[in-house]
A = this chain, B = another copy of it.
Amino acid sequence: MNISQAAKLSGLSVKTVRYYADIKMVEPARNIQSGYRSYSNDDVAKLNFIGKARRFNFSIEECRELLSLYRDKNRSSKEVKKLTLAKIASIDEKLKEFHSLRDELSHLVDCCNGDDRPSCPILDELSK
């Protein structure tokens, strides 16, 4: 199938699918006459896999790794679990950061009158 069909089936944009071909993540066959990319069902499965992993916040490089683990019949589930646990840990860190950020900001907002006068504890805090 052509690229737009593959894109539709995988829920990705044509641009993104072409990008994945460029970076050698999913390299489809080529139609010799037209030069058009020609996607197999297997290619689409890979695109799906990558799309999902990206939605799970795995980076492109991590996707590459997961994909090769997926293709490797001798891999151990241990390896995949390790990758996923590391990902969870990094998400936890981000969560912690954002939580404290949020708390600090909302504290500042609570202290700010939000009226037409210039006095503003938010700016005061930023300038300290």
Contact = CB atoms under 8 A, between A and B. Distances in A.
B78 A115 contact: yes
Nearest to A53: B126
B85 A123 contact: no
Interface residues of A, number: 53
Contacts of A2: none
* Total copies of the chain: 2
A24 interface: no
A69 interface: yes
Given A76-B115, A84-B109, A120-B80, A56 B95 contact: no
A123 B66 contact: yes
B84 A117 contact: no
